[in-house]
Structure 1
Amino acid sequence: MKRTSLGALAMAVAALSLQGCGGDDDDEERLPQLSAATGASLSGTCASLASRLATLADTTITATSEVAAGTLSVAGTPVAAHCLVTGRMFERTSSVDGQSYAIGFEMRLPLAWNGRFFYQANGGIDGNVVTATGGGGGGPLTNALQQGFAVISSDAGHSGAMGPAFGIDPQARLDYGYQAVGKLTPMAKSVIQTAYGKGPDRSYIGGCSNGGRHTMVAMARYADQYDGFLAGAPGFNLPKAAIANIFGAQRYASVATDPADLSTAFTATERTTVANAVLAKCDALDGTTDGLVQDVEACRTAFSLAADVPTCTGARDGSCLSAEQKTAIAPIFSGATTSTGTSFYASFPYDAGIASNGIPFWEFLAPLLLDSGGVGIIWKVPPEPVASFNGPDFALGLDIDQALAGVNATDATYTESAMSFMTPPNPTDLSALKRRGAKVMVYHGVSDPIFSVDDTKAWYDGLRSANGGDAGNFARFYRVPGMAHCSGGPATDQFDMLTPLVAWVEQGQVPQGVTASARGAGNAGGVNAEVPSAWAADRTRPLCPYPQVARYKGSGSIELAENFGCQ
């Protein structure tokens, strides 16, 4: 009886703490509290694990080996000893393109396990089995493996050596989109059961970019399989985002002084001029001038590209933009449209990170070299011929309306459209996840040039609307001012969101502001060269749950998070 009473008291306290964050109190009280994971030790030796896993269905274990403590390290901290398991699932030869396919994977199993499983969703177009460590968000600070999770990483069903050509095979498309997660998850849990004598008590999935997309898709499709979801810069509308990036490239091409180099349309000096103009209008809106635009919403009305950036009266010299440049660039930020002016992807906010080092790749090269292959081969129905495909020519000559039709099309061979297999079905209906007590944390750089933070904001606003105006009792969204795609930019981009996610899922501790730091000189996790010289090398800021904004309290060092509050 005493144990029951204490449990009831803990639930009541958790409910009251949730009520303090706003929302539907009755709904919050009904959300179940999941129990905490308990650890275990690896059963037997790592070497013997291969034979014990031989009966896994549709799976070939290729190797097992013990990795000594300190072989891997994160942010200067060594990772403990663990067992590395590699393998393949569903090996086959395609009847469409004749190529060999399999879902390659690796799992890292700590000798001293914390009872948790982490699915590491990878970025780009997948295709490579990267080291299964499981990130915690932003610049490297900690990861799941370091914290004692069992972690899996995969190539999502195809070899990176193929490039986008795997899109010719319809099953490879589906594995990349969502089915690899569905196939790997039960297999991984079986491996854990065999390795430790029990399955995972709690399961988590996370990643950034395409990994964030995988996580968003899993929220909708595999809500029963995971207890915590950590999505960074989630390109959950990836086909549309890629077409929007090509839309931008076509506009840059119209004002590029060198047709072979789109960066001449908007040079580094010109981007710095725009960044400085944004800061002049928006930096102080959060109560202090510190090189960061915290109040993103206020900046939308405070800054105008047309009025606040000088218009060149003569030759371009970096201190101004020509009228033609402004005409070409403005639609990229206001949001890509069809030929009839209908918006099909989100706007991008103006932010100080517009001058960051990642912009040239994502805005001037990716549309020609990456997005073109995705739009033309991986997602289009029917796909473009691989042998004669030319990415830059395809992108710069692309009919945007036809491209949108292509990613929504199906035929007898490709029976599921890209917008079906790449995106989460009903993304704002996370009722299944919510009802079972699972939790979601999402972060996104305000200066992300490829996946718009406004797209994620629109999703979260929809999620709030679907939950009586407040989804904060099970899902939280954090914008990172200045941060580019997943990390970098003039930002405090080093933070750990995995630890607060676990505390929320397993202990009911609702996350508030997450402390982020700059990666200046001497940072153990790797220096971010874009940290402004005027900042302290270890500047900190709270990342606030949207719609809250980090505002200066009026006194104290502007280098310290403690002097800012989420309001």
Structure 2
Amino acid sequence: MALCTASQFQNLTLFGVSALSFSTSSHLNLSFNVAAEQNHYAKNVTGLDVCEVIITYTHPGYNDEVNTIVWLPKAENWLGRFLGAGGGGWVTGAENSTLAWAASEGFAVATTDGGHLAESPVQDWALLSPGNINWIPLQNFASTTLDEAATLGKAVAEAYYGMKPLYSYWNGCSTGGRQGHMMAQRYPDQYDGILASASAMQWGQMLMQEGWPQAIMNDLKLYPTNCELEAVRLAAIEACDGLDGVEDGIITLPGQCNFDPSTKVGQSYYCSLTKANTTITEAAATIAKWTWKGATSSRNESLWYGLDVGASFLADAATTCSANGTCTGAPLGFFDIWVRYFLTMDPEFDMSTVNVSVFSKLFHQSVNRYDSIIGTSDIDLTYFKEAGGKLITWHGLADSLIAPNTTVDYAQQVYERDPGAGEYYRFFEAPGVDHCGGGSGWFPGSGLQSLIDWVEKGVAPTRLGAQTQTGAVKRSADLCLWPKSLHFVSGDINAADSFECR
């Protein structure tokens, strides 16, 4: 690791930025137990040696400070590939465990902090003062630093290994998925292949959708308990589980599920929180229906998609209850921050006042004010196509944070605009998988290899290999290229060849 010195990289420059410092560290014999996340299966990384390079820079006139972090495996372990690693939530970049996984797979890998450290909450940088958005760090988070990290990361790899990366890839989920789509839309020449799953794209609509159940609860003054809503979810799975030909605890075809939760009102269930039996109320049935229906304006116009049937309610539709049984809404943090800091620009704003009427106005502001900055909704991928890029996306149908139809909507528009989009853009649905993973369904942890095969060998994926991550028995399935869906044919329900796409 003798080449891991700051002087090796100090001649690197990038138009529009001014370097503040270059630092390097040799990390030897690293070990990480990496969970199944960011589009890959769990892995126990041991004996990893990397050179870490951190480039700290500013955009002159912006008064910001951004860090691009690059991990470089030993030259004999590098496979000639570069990887950009995405973030999650309001965090722009990846954790060290993600970088370790990538380096252990032979990638030179880069990420960015976007100008604000992961431990620095968005509340610290969102506003210059109440009523005044801090636009520069938002722009850095949305797009600018992602492009810069790709350019700098590849330059660092070239300086270290003495040759340019042969191929460049992006890998990310949620915010990382949005970032991947942003790269394809705005910086189409940076990556040969992009794996962008459960994407937080169509940002203005997506974030508001996460708060829709809270708005309808405030409007109707109905706040069912979390246990009730979970009982409704389980009843829905029982009702619609078999639509794909097998009852296995997974709803594969949520769009065909016509379950009416009102039919379960009065049904008894056991609540593990209270350790008591109780019954499903009409309030729970009503909120479940509205959550599935999706955001609706005060004029009864459809605004955005709801969660799929079978997804947990306990993120978007969570409540909190006092000892006397009185319950109130518990808005998801992402939605809460978006409304208070970016829409009302008032950290003291009372979220309990967000009823359907207020929600409708905020929804319009959310899209109108921010779509050009962070919306990530551009369906014109012409330049990505011309650059030879390939993009794979997948979305778990049991996603409890981002409605899967957010991705379906985007894919439909891409294919309507270009019927030949399958040459460079492919979408797969993952039944039973929650946000970026989890749930009882099939998680496609080998998606990055499918992307590599598409880019480097020209083998376009028609199926995406996936496995369950829970339960004593691992089940396999090959996810279907949208718009086809998995259907059980016959045989072992744990085997991929027992299912077909139709």
Describe how 1:383-462 pairs up with structure 2 within 5 A. Answer: 384-386=345-347, 389-390=348-349, 392-393=351-352, 399-408=358-367, 417-424=369-376, 426=378, 428-462=379-413
In structure 1, the residue matched to 2:301 is 342
Q: CA deviation at 1:313?
A: 9.0
TM-score, normalised to structure 1, is 0.75
**Percent identity over the alignment?**
23
Q: CA deviation at 1:490?
A: 2.0
> Would the aligned equivalents of 1:108 and 1:132 in 2 still touch at CA under 8 Å?
no
For the pair 1:291 / 2:249, whether they are aligned, the reply is: yes
Deviations 1:301-335 (A, max 9, x none): x43334xx422399999775433433333222111
Describe how 1:93-492 pairs up with structure 2 within 5 A. Answer: 101-111=64-74, 112-126=77-91, 130-131=95-96, 133=98, 143-159=101-117, 160-168=119-127, 169-253=134-218, 265-268=224-227, 270-299=228-257, 302-306=258-262, 309-312=263-266, 321-351=280-310, 353-354=311-312, 359-364=313-318, 367-377=331-341, 379-380=342-343, 384-386=345-347, 389-390=348-349, 392-393=351-352, 399-408=358-367, 417-424=369-376, 426=378, 428-468=379-419, 471-492=421-442
Greater RCO (Cα-Cα under 8 Å, separation 6 or more): 1
Q: CA deviation at 1:245?
A: 2.2
Q: CA deviation at 1:256?
A: 7.3
**Match for residue 11 of structure 2 among 37, 55, 59:** 55
**Match for residue 497 of structure 1 among 442, 447, 453:** 447
> Would the aligned equivalents of 1:119 and 1:134 in 2 still touch at CA under 8 Å?
no
> Would the aligned equivalents of 2:244 and 2:487 in 1 still touch at CA under 8 Å?
yes
Q: CA deviation at 1:454?
A: 0.9
Q: CA deviation at 1:221?
A: 0.3
Describe how 1:14-33 pairs up with structure 2 within 5 A. Answer: none
> Would the aligned equivalents of 2:298 and 2:356 in 1 still touch at CA under 8 Å?
no
1 CA distance for matches of 2:162 and 2:268?
74
> Would the aligned equivalents of 1:72 and 1:79 in 2 still touch at CA under 8 Å?
no
2 CA distance for matches of 1:319 and 1:479?
35
> Would the aligned equivalents of 2:83 and 2:110 in 1 still touch at CA under 8 Å?
yes
> Would the aligned equivalents of 2:198 and 2:436 in 1 still touch at CA under 8 Å?
yes
Q: Which moved more, 1:111-120 or 1:51-60?
A: 51-60
Relative to structure 1, is the Cα distance of residues 319 and 227 closer, same or farther in structure 2, using a 3 angstrom cutoff? farther
2 CA distance for matches of 1:250 and 1:145?
44
Alignment RMSD, CA only? 2.9
Q: CA deviation at 1:518?
A: 2.1
Relative to structure 1, is the Cα distance of residues 402 and 45 closer, same or farther in structure 2, using a 3 angstrom cutoff? same
Give 5+ residue unaligned stretches, structure 2: 35-42, 128-133, 272-276, 320-329
For the pair 1:78 / 2:61, whether they are aligned, the reply is: no
Relative to structure 1, is the Cα distance of residues 92 and 391 closer, same or farther in structure 2, using a 3 angstrom cutoff? farther
> Would the aligned equivalents of 1:368 and 1:395 in 2 still touch at CA under 8 Å?
no
SS in 2 for 1:87: strand
In structure 1, the residue matched to 2:130 is none
Q: Which moved more, 1:83-92 or 1:144-153?
A: 83-92
Relative to structure 1, is the Cα distance of residues 391 and 191 closer, same or farther in structure 2, using a 3 angstrom cutoff? farther
> Would the aligned equivalents of 1:120 and 1:132 in 2 still touch at CA under 8 Å?
no
Q: CA deviation at 1:403?
A: 1.4
1 CA distance for matches of 2:218 and 2:358?
15
> Would the aligned equivalents of 1:495 and 1:514 in 2 still touch at CA under 8 Å?
no
Q: CA deviation at 1:73?
A: 4.8
Which amino acid counterpart does residue 442 of structure 2 have in structure 1? T
2 CA distance for matches of 1:519 and 1:165?
36
Q: CA deviation at 1:153?
A: 1.7
Whichever structure has more strand as a proportion of its residues is 2
**How many correspondences in the alignment?**
466
SS in 1 for 2:434: coil
For the pair 1:515 / 2:465, whether they are aligned, the reply is: yes
SS in 1 for 2:440: coil
Q: CA deviation at 1:222?
A: 0.9
